[in-house]
Amino acid sequence: METAHTPFTDILVPLDGSADAERALAPALELATRTGVPLRLLRQSPTDDKDVAAEYLAGVADRHAGGTAIETLVDNRESIPDAILDWLELGTLVCMSSHGRGGVARAVMGSVAEAVLRRLDRPALVVGPHVSDEATFRGRVVACVDGSTESELTLEPARRWAEMLDLPVWLVEVVAPRTSPDWDTHGDVMESGHVAGLARRLGHVTGWDVLHDKHPAHALAALEPSDLEPTALLVMATHGRTGWDRLRLGSVTAATVHAATVPVLVVPAAPVTGSGHEAIARGTTGS
């Protein structure tokens, strides 16, 4: 059974047989171990390969056998995103690699991951190509904001995950470099005041910072390691001041997932319509 403050009831990890996709296993297994929720491994496969897919998943489960309950699922749908979405239960957390055999989309996010995220109305844990196989949730949970209302949707998930993992919360706002010769202390106060106000609203925040960088993804990825304490998890919204790319996922979020050495909790910034999964998605937050 999940712990008292766990914001999900089970974890679904989509696998495709590749080492890239299996990068999602380490954080998923640690979360399952810490919270006591079951882990489900899913592979989409054509009907005639069902036995091969089942054997592969059984092997993965055996290699990671321990105190975690692991269920294996084989789905023969043609669409991998459809298979993932159709296996979601009320409180399922999707934990997936950003790159697998589905290929790489224009915005440096794996095409399957993007297709799932743009239809998913719940936070999902995304593991980029630079996350270590031995990555653990140690350090701080960093909620990333950019001054937009949409980005502030990271605050509550960051709080809940920090509470679940017993980690401190840090707020970070990334803004454009200062180019005006008239910039003065007043400008610093305004920037700092915004982040400080969000910290007060959220509560339980141990610190905050304002970063000036024309490449926000690089600045956020560089937060780990930190002189203060390492970053365990980045929390980002799919849309903020930087705009939307063609597949709905914010381009800065996609680039950060690609560059980060820690998992990124991607929070949808707007309700999804017309996907056929919205009724399930709206009820995904556990108690």
Tens of pLDDT along 30-49?
999 999 999 999 998 877 67
Whether pLDDT at 244 is above 50: no
Tens of pLDDT along 125-141?
999 998 988 778 988 99
The domains located in the chain, with CATH, are 10-129 (3.40.50.620), 140-267 (3.40.50.620)
Tens of pLDDT along 68-78?
889 999 998 88
Q: Is the pLDDT higher at 136 or at 103?
A: 136
Label residue 91 by pLDDT band (50, 70, 90).
very high
Give the lowest-confidence range in 33-37, 61-65, 124-128, 206-210: 206-210
DSSP readout, the chain?
Answer: ---TT-S-SEEEEEE-SSHHHHTTHHHHHHHHHHH---EEEEEE--GGGHHHHHHHHHHHHHHT-SSS-EEEEEE--S-HHHHHHHT--TTEEEEEES-STT-B-TTSSBHHHHHHHTT--S-EEEE-TTS-TT----SEEEEEE-SSTGGGGGHHHHHHHHHHHT--EEEEEEEPPP--TT--HHHHHHHHHHHHHHHHHH--EEEEEEEE-S-HHHHHHTTSS-SS--EEEEEEES-STT-B-TTSSBHHHHHHHHH-SS-EEEE-SS---SSS-HHHHTT----
What pTM did the predictor assign? 0.83
